[in-house]
Structure 1
Amino acid sequence: MEEEKLINRVSDYVEELLEKELPEHMYFHNFEHTLLVVAGVKIIGEHSQVSEQEMLILTLAAYLHDIGYTRQYIGHEAISAEMAGNFLSSNGLSSVEVEQVQQCILATKYPQLPHNNLQKIICDADFYHFALPAYTDFAVRLKREWEENINLAYSYREWDAINLKMLTSHQYFTGYGRQFLQKRKERNIEKLIQRFT
């Protein structure tokens, strides 16, 4: 199946690119995070009844959404979209499909402002970790990544406050996100609140 070949090619490209060119202090935004977002779009996409073609767009966007970190930290989304476009065009994806992938990637820029169902799905998948039991581990990794890449350093108490504000102000966009991920995220909010009591 051509689609499967393309996904495998993209997966190999991203893994190799991140392994060779990602700065070494990327404790959160790495291939592990990429695979989590890929898994997230599959789960949310299935619950959102997307077509096979839409799932292809989502999967490609999930794999490629953070490759711009190999070039720059702030504003990596635009670079990711450009790099994704170049790679996908040279691997036979139509210009319409390339554009859809690029728009999904750009939608992940924070604050997230998705304009259609596919963009809502990838945005929720990008913050899938908010709903995981290991959320605090991811938060610690991101804290360290910010310190070493963009010189933003916080005490653990300040970091907990930032995370609490982020989780409480964040809203999932999809039905699946609101019905299932939100409930799990609330457990992580409770854990953070308990640290302040």
Structure 2
Amino acid sequence: MNTELIIKTEKHCKKLLKSGRCRSLQFHNYRHTAEVAHNANFLAQKSNLTDVEREMVVIAAYFHDVGNIEITIGHEKLSCTIAREFLQKQNFPKEKIKIVENTILSTEMGREPTNLLEKILNDADLSHLGMTTFSERNRLLRKEWETFLDMTFTDDEWIKLNVKFLNEHHFYTEAAKTAFENQKKQNLILLQEAL
């Protein structure tokens, strides 16, 4: 894994996410991106990815939400453009750039991941569902949707939406199931008890 490239990628994405519109996003901000990159690296190691594969999934993790600097719905395509432009300047091979782009695109809601890198990034992107910080992160997501998508919910509506989402969600990798599934079940129980 090219540590220098990962550091450059992190700095570039951090700068983008801490400026402009993303600075105001309650959930899809640098904190979320850093958590996703950390968990993508963790899951990649647990899934025995090669250093080259791990590098690509971590790069994809850093870039996966940077498109939010301009748009919310469909930000993944813009994230790919930003990643491609940056990686071309770093002389990153074209075939690897394409893999990074496909991995980013796999995080689009409703899209199913088709390979292990995509599964790892999807699991890392939703790893907060299986963390003890879920309630806090979920509250921030609700606030962001209200502010930027003009979507408001009663408390009951929000809880029911999340119960449905957690019930329908599944982690793709064994590593994520091991790391996050038990806490996700606990978070679901807490939501159900709040109804």
Q: What TM-score results when the alignment is normalised by the length of structure 2?
A: 0.96
Identity of aligned residues (%): 27
Deviations 1:157-195 (Å, cap 9, x if unpaired)? 211111111011001110112333222210100110111
Q: C-alpha root-mean-square deviation of aligned residues, in Å? A: 1.2
The AA in structure 1 aligned to 2:119 is K
Equivalent positions of 1:62-77 (< 5 A) are 62-77=61-76
* Contact map agreement 2:17 2:23 (CA 8 A) in 1: no
1:121 maps to which residue? 120
2:84 maps to which residue? 85
Supply the distance in 1 between the matched residues of 2:105 and 2:171 (Cα, whole angstroms): 17
2:155 maps to which residue? 156
Q: CA deviation at 1:91?
A: 1.0
2:7 maps to which residue? 8
- Name stretches of at least 5 consecutive residues in structure 1 with no aligned partner: none
- Name stretches of at least 5 consecutive residues in structure 2 with no aligned partner: none
1:180 aligns with 2:179: yes
Query: Bigger shift: 12-21 or 73-82?
Result: 12-21
Q: CA deviation at 1:37?
A: 0.2
Supply the distance in 2 between the matched residues of 1:63 and 1:108 (Cα, whole angstroms): 12
Deviations 1:128-167 (Å, cap 9, x if unpaired)? 0000011011111000100110100011221111111101
* Contact map agreement 2:9 2:59 (CA 8 A) in 1: yes
* Contact map agreement 1:64 1:80 (CA 8 A) in 2: yes
* Contact map agreement 1:27 1:145 (CA 8 A) in 2: yes
Supply the distance in 2 between the matched residues of 1:132 and 1:87 (Cα, whole angstroms): 32
1:96 maps to which residue? 95
2:137 maps to which residue? 138
Deviations 1:43-83 (Å, cap 9, x if unpaired)? 11111000000010011001010000001111000110111
1:105 maps to which residue? 104
Q: CA deviation at 1:20?
A: 1.6
Q: CA deviation at 1:39?
A: 1.1
Supply the distance in 1 between the matched residues of 2:179 and 2:141 (Cα, whole angstroms): 24
2:45 maps to which residue? 46
Supply the distance in 1 between the matched residues of 2:3 and 2:143 (Cα, whole angstroms): 36
Supply the distance in 2 between the matched residues of 1:82 and 1:51 (Cα, whole angstroms): 25
